[in-house]
Structure 1
Amino acid sequence: MRESLVGFLEEARKAGRISQWRVRGERRRQLELYYAGTRREARRTVARETFDVEVLRDQDDGTRGHAKVRLTPGSSRWRELLEALVDMARSRNPAWSFPGPSEHAPDNRHCFDARLAGATHVAMDELSGHWLEACRSLAARSLVPGHLELFLGHSEESVTTSAGLDVRTESTDFYLEGSVTTAEHERFFLRHGCFLEDVKLAEQVERAAKELLELPAAVLVPQGQYRVLLHANAVAQLFRAATFDLQAESVHHGISRLKTGERFGPEGVTVRANSPIRGLGRSALDEEGVALRPFDVVRDGRVVALATTTKYATLTGFPWTGGMRSLHVEGGTRSREELLRAALKDGPVLEVLDFSNLLPDNESKDFSGELRLGYLHRGGERLLVRGGSVGGNAVTVLADAELASELASDYGNPAMSELPYHGPAYALLPVMACSGAQGSGS
């Protein structure tokens, strides 16, 4: 079907009906496993293929029309859809172009696992065994296995443009979700990644079980003013929101006013895009289909570049860098223990093990999160706490944060377009107000 699409579009371009075209194809195979407790509900293989077709059309006033449609091989009327697509490309947009050939070849070693790509139902049987073994361990502690969902995926990607770009690459990924319950409480675990050995199913179940057993002993966090120690997932969420401004697209749409040379984040921090670190990323291509290349967006605490695709290089005049598909934040000089010990000299510290939900707003950078489980360190004691909430602005708190030297990775949620993160496993934030039980806090 791809060849037919390209042939139709090229004929339309030569006939002057459109100016440029791009076809982005994806062929995906996914193994799926579902359990309700110890009962297997389903195990199946799902395959799909899609083509995202875009066209540009020059208008008489110097603007350029743009239209896009998604097609599948089963579309019996795809030629009619393409005809409609060509006719739709009459909108008025600033002129920009699809990219041509890149001097960089796609490198997918960070996001492709041959073992996962070749996974069969034999691999699923092995993982089923891990789940059932974990269920027996849960039962011995009077815990109840809730549910399990596990997907193993292999994608083949291709991008072709009328400007001469023609690339192909592969990637793999997995999605793991499950729960452990008691009569009063429930704990979920969720994990994404792209290497089979990182599924670590038994480890995820054990972590959820440990937190579930600890939860009844946790008390409501006292209301007060605390320095806040975050773990990797929350640190990643704050950096994702803050670095949303480090893209030319955000500047073009008026969301960001950042310029090169301005201060960003903690003192002396360096932030890189697209570092070729194992497991850091979901594709070897950016959103336009150009091979990713690593580059710094922040160096020594100052903005040195904005992530700029071909389209937004044209629209903003910023130098082209390629898209930003992952974040690599350099760690600090002190460990978690050193940061905590120093901070406790000035007052109590609230260590957040997990938030119920923490989703900073990409535009305002504001965030608020309810404490699911954590520790309150004060006066030589460590108190297990829950409830209450802390909030602030991601850019503001990161500017005064201290980053730990330990590093961790957080793959993020692909469904929410969260960038994979590799960076400090902990961050110590400035003093923040925490809602909670009335009483002696700070």
Structure 2
Amino acid sequence: MREKILQAIRKFQIETYLVTEKTVEGAELYFIKKELDMRRMKQDAVSAVTIYRDFETDGKKMRGSANINIFPEMTQEEVDEAVKGAYYAASFVKNPFFELPKGKKENKVQVKSTLCGKSLEEIGDAFVKALYCVDVQEDAFINTAEFFMEKTTTAIYNSEGIDVSYEKSSVNGEFVVQCITPQDVEQYQEFAYDDLDTEALTAQAKEALERVCDRARAIEAPEKGNYKLLLSGKNVRTLIDFYMDRSSSGMVYPGYSSYQAGMDVQGEKVQGEKLNITLHASNPYSSEGIPMKDLTLLKEGELKAIHGNARFAYYLGVEPTGIYSAVKLDNGTKTLEEMKKEPYLYVVSFSDFSMDSFSGYFGGEIRLAYLFDGEKVTPVTGGSVSGNLLELQKDMAFSTERYKDKDYDGPFAVEFHGVAVAGK
């Protein structure tokens, strides 16, 4: 694909471009209960091409861009037409001028993990065993499961000399747990790992089976009111998106976020824990070929960096870091048991939990929660949670227990006070 793309670029005398080529070797497994229903192998390749075009508008230098995908089965004529069309389309995109990152040819990087050296079949077998080893009940079981094992080679090159590549293995999937008594309910789960973390999947499956049984017993919604709220696992990770998004150059430059390096993002008079967040470089290079490394985002609640791609970094006059998807947090100061000593509402499953990084509001409809009234714990379902992180971030606490998946490594649970719950 590379030679076809470069030939088209030379043909139309295009000076500025960026290409990210991905080749994926994959294996897919589909289960109905414990029986393998389908096994599928795949080999995919695509080159995401960005064509840039410089021009002036009212005496101001602009750099427009347009994106196209090039596939191996395309002929040279088809590639030529696609590149020509992108170059024309780029002339209508009036972005202020910015520089692309510069670099040179580097040797291919093998992303180290415990998946390295193992075949897709070996990886799949290990995760299948990890999931189904806890499926031992008759009234609560894994209904369906899907596993996707991939070895991905990514090559990135541009007109400024960057020519880098890396190879990485990963696994992701989903499964549905079902309990048929006293009522028939199902709950959806998903997982993703860059390591052979089979113990984590086993723990997730065990917990999911326990919780779907509790969901089958839950029949009432919590009373309407304000609660001490506990959230855990992936829901904690969703909350952290607020700080990642607000500190990105893509939100800072247009004025959607007022974050600046050195500011205390939690405000003054913090009564709870101050945040310590590190952006984790899960890949050696960004999609623009920028070398990536772990970056301290918040230290004791103080913003240490603005992060993002080359374009917005250029506009802000900061160093381009690439776009991060993974995050690490320091341990909290409370155990989960200490959080549970006083009355609480612990929501473990939402129909859809969301975080609005513009307003700070988070919430969702409750599928399963545990309500502790000071004497007993009752599983509840229904109603919804609504809170604002801007108001609650001064008085929150994180657990000493940890949770880890592909994009998050940090405290398992977080505690808030006075969160509004709509219930019966």
TM-score interval (norm. to shorter)? 0.7 to 0.9
What one-letter code is carried by the residue in structure 2 that aligns with 1:373?
Answer: L
One-letter code aligned to 1:331 = N
Aligned to 2:54: 58
Name the residue aligned to 2:257. 256
Amino acid at match of 1:350: L
1:370 Cα deviation from its structure 2 partner: 2.0
Matches within 5 A, 1:26-425: 26-61=22-57, 62-76=61-75, 77-91=78-92, 92-101=94-103, 109=111, 113-115=115-117, 118-120=119-121, 124=124, 137-138=136-137, 141-143=138-140, 145-183=142-180, 184-198=184-198, 202-218=202-218, 219-265=220-266, 267-274=273-280, 281=282, 283-341=283-341, 344=342, 348-411=343-406, 420-425=407-412
Q: Check conservation: 1:108, 1:284, Cα contact below 8 A.
A: no
Cα contact 2:123–2:149 (8 A) shared by 1 = no
Instruction: Work out the CA distance in 1 between the residues paired with 2:177 and 2:336.
Output: 29
Closer, same or farther in 2 for the Cα pair 1:351/1:126, shift >3 Å?
closer
In the alignment, the residues of structure 2 paired with residue 169 and residue 270 of structure 1 have an alpha-carbon distance, to the nearest angstrom, of: 30
For residues 381-400 of structure 1, give each alpha carbon's deviation from its aligned partner in whole angstroms, at most 9, with x where no partner exists.
Answer: 32332222211123332332
In 2, are the aligned partners of 1:106 and 1:292 still within 8 Å (CA)?
A: no
Retained in 2: the 8 A contact 1:159–1:167?
yes
User: Residue 416 of structure 1 corresponds to which residue in structure 2?
Assistant: none
Give the deviation of 1:109 after TM superposition.
Answer: 4.1
**SS of the residue 1:174 aligns to:** strand
TM-score of the two chains, using structure 2 as the length reference: 0.87
Residue 88 (structure 1) shift: 2.4
Shift of 1:187: 2.3
Inter-partner Cα distance in structure 2 for 1:226 and 1:324 = 33
Q: C-alpha root-mean-square deviation of aligned residues, in Å? A: 2.7
Does the 8 A contact of 1:224 with 1:434 survive in 2? yes
Q: Tell me the TM-score normalized by structure 1.
A: 0.84
Counterpart of 1:414 in structure 2 is none
Letter in 2 for 1:113: L
Return the letter of the residue paired with 2:2. R
Distance 1:208 1:100, change over 3 A: same
Partners of 2:353 and 2:109 in 1: CA distance: 33
Q: Is the 8 A contact 1:106 1:284 kept in 2?
A: no
Measured in 2, the distance between the counterparts of 1:404 and 1:172 equals: 31
Give, as a single letter, the amino acid of the residue that structure 2 aligns with 1:86. Answer: Y
Aligned-pair CA distance for 1:270: 1.5
- The answer to whether the 8 A contact 1:293-1:322 is kept is no
Unaligned runs of 5+ in 2: 267-271
Q: Is the 8 A contact 1:401 1:430 kept in 2?
A: yes
Structure 1 residue 215: Cα displacement: 2.5
Give the distance between the partners of 1:128 and 1:288, measured in 2 at CA.
35
Q: Distance in 1 between matches of 2:339 and 2:108?
A: 40
* TM-superposition CA deviations, 1:136-161 (whole Å, max 9, x none): x23xx333542111111110001011
Secondary structure, counterpart of 1:59 in structure 2? strand
Letter in 1 for 2:53: R
Structure 1 residue 367, shift from structure 2 partner: 1.9
Contiguous gaps of at least 5 residues in structure 1: 276-280, 412-419, 438-442
Is the Cα contact below 8 Å between 1:242 and 1:365 reproduced in 2?
Answer: no
Map Cα deviations across residues 196-224 of structure 1 (whole Å, 9 max, x no partner). Answer: 33376554443332222222333432222
Helix, strand or coil for the counterpart of 2:410? strand
How much identity, in percent, do the aligned residues show? 22
Determine helix, strand or coil for the equivalent of 2:314. Answer: helix
Counterpart CA distance in 2 for 1:324 and 1:123 is: 26
For the 8 Å contact 1:191–1:199, the answer to whether it is kept is no
Query: Residue 163 of structure 1 aligns to which amino acid in structure 2?
Result: E
Is the 1:115–1:196 contact (alpha carbons within 8 Å) kept by the matching residues of 2? no
Whole-angstrom CA distance in 2 between matches of 1:104 and 1:390? 49
Shift of 1:123: 5.1
Letter in 1 for 2:300: D
In structure 2, the residue matched to 1:417 is none
User: How is 1:3-42 mapped onto 2 (pairs within 5 angstroms)?
Assistant: 3-10=3-10, 12=12, 15=13, 18-42=14-38
Once residues 391 and 105 of structure 2 are traced to their aligned partners in structure 1, the CA distance between those partners, rounded to angstroms, is 39
Deviations 1:292-328 (A, max 9, x none): 1122121111112111332212122234444333211
Q: Decide whether aligned partners of structure 1 residues 93 and 216 sit closer, same or farther in structure 2, where only a CA change above 3 A counts.
A: closer
Q: Contact 2:63/2:98 (CA < 8 Å) preserved in 1? A: yes
Shift of 1:250: 0.8
Task: After superposition, give the CA deviation of every residue in 1:278-299 in whole Å (9 maximum; x if it has no partner).
Answer: xxx3x32223221211221211
State whether residues 53 and 63 of structure 2, in contact with CA within 8 Å, keep that contact through their aligned partners in structure 1. Answer: yes
Displacement of 1:192 in angstroms is 1.3
